[in-house]
Structure 1
Amino acid sequence: MMRARIRAGDPAAFRELFGEHAQAIYRHAVRATGDWSAAEDVVSLTFLEAWRLRGRLDPEGDGLAPWLFGIATNVLRNTSRAARRHRAALSRLPAGAEVPDFADEIAGRADDAARIGAAHAALARLGDTDREIIMLCVWAGLDYASTAEALGIPVGTVRSRLSRARTRLRELSATLQEESR
C-alpha cells in the first residue's frame, strides 16, 4: 500500500517515508563520509532522487529501506566521484597559485566609501563655485589654467577660491567628524 502511494506521488506518504528512514540514511552517510555536513547533503539528495525515481519503484516488495539505501549508495558514489574530480582539477592548477586574501581590499573599499561619503557631505555645504573648483583641481587633477578655462573665470580667481575652499573644507570635515562620534 505504501509503495503504491509513493509511486502515485502522495506527499503524505513521502513525508512518512522521510520520517521513518531519514535518520538511518543520515547515520549511513555519516559513517561513509565522516562528515556531518556532507551526510546532510547525501540525505537531501537521496530523498530528492527517491522522489524523482518514485515511478520506478517496484509496487511489490517488503519495506522501502533497501530501495532508499540503494539510492543513498548511488548518491554517495556520485558525490565521491565529484569530490575526486574536484581534487584532480585543483591538483592541475599551477603550483604556488594562491588565492589572494581580499579582506584588506574590501576593508579598504569600505573605508574609501566612508571617506568619499564624508567628503561629499562636506562638499555639499560649500558654495557651487567652490565645490566645482575643488572637484576639478583636486579630484579631476586639472591645473589652475585648465580649471579656469573650464569654469570661464580668471586663473587668479581659481587660486584664491581653491585656497578658501580647502580651508572651509577642512573646517567642515572636522565638524562632521565630531558630529558623527
Structure 2
Amino acid sequence: MTTEDPDDRALWSQAAGGSPYAFGVLFDRHAKAVYNHCFRLTASWAAAEDHLQATFLMAWRKRDNMPALERESALPWLLAVATNVVRNDQRSLGRRLRLFARVAEERPVPDHADHVAERIDDQRRMKEVLKAVARLPRNEREALALCLWSGVSYADAAAVLGIAEGSVRARVSKARSRLHRILGEQREVVPLAALTVEDR
C-alpha cells in the first residue's frame, strides 16, 4: 500500500456503502493472506481456493451489516470469517462451496509438471503436519495457525478468536509444547509458514 492508497477503514466504509471498487481493493490487498490461512487449516490448495471465495462472497453479502473496524486492518475480521467458513465446511465433509464458475479459455497448455509436483509435495508435507496438529485441542490449533503460520499478532489473533490476548499466548505456547512432543525435536513447526502462495 502506498501513501496515496486509502487505508482499510476508508475502504471498509465505502464497501459497506456498496462500492465494488473499494471491496475489490480490499480483496487485492488481503486475498493472499486469507488464501494461505485457509490452506494451513485444510492442507488443500483446492479447498483453500473455495474457502477464499466463500470468505469474500460472505463479506460482500453482509456488507450492509459490516461492523466498524476496530483496528486499522480488515485482515483480522476477514481471517475470522475464513476460520468460520473452514469450520462449517469441515462439519459437512464432502460438500464444497462452488461459488464462481470458471470458463476455461482454449489456449496452448504449457507443461506444468514441476509446478504440479511442488504443489503435491506441499500438500503431502502439510497433511503430515496437520495429522499432528489434529491431535491438539481445536482452540490451540486455531491460535497456532494464526500466530505462527499466518504471522498475525497476538492482539489481532485475540480479536479474530474473540478471546483475551493472554489466552492466545497461552494457547500458542501449549500448542508448541505438544507439537514438539508429537513431532520430535527434529521437526520445526514455524518454518511451515513457507508453505504459502507467493503470487496471486
TM-score between the two structures when normalised by the length of structure 2: 0.41
Larger relative contact order (Cα-Cα within 8 Å, sequence gap ≥ 6): 2
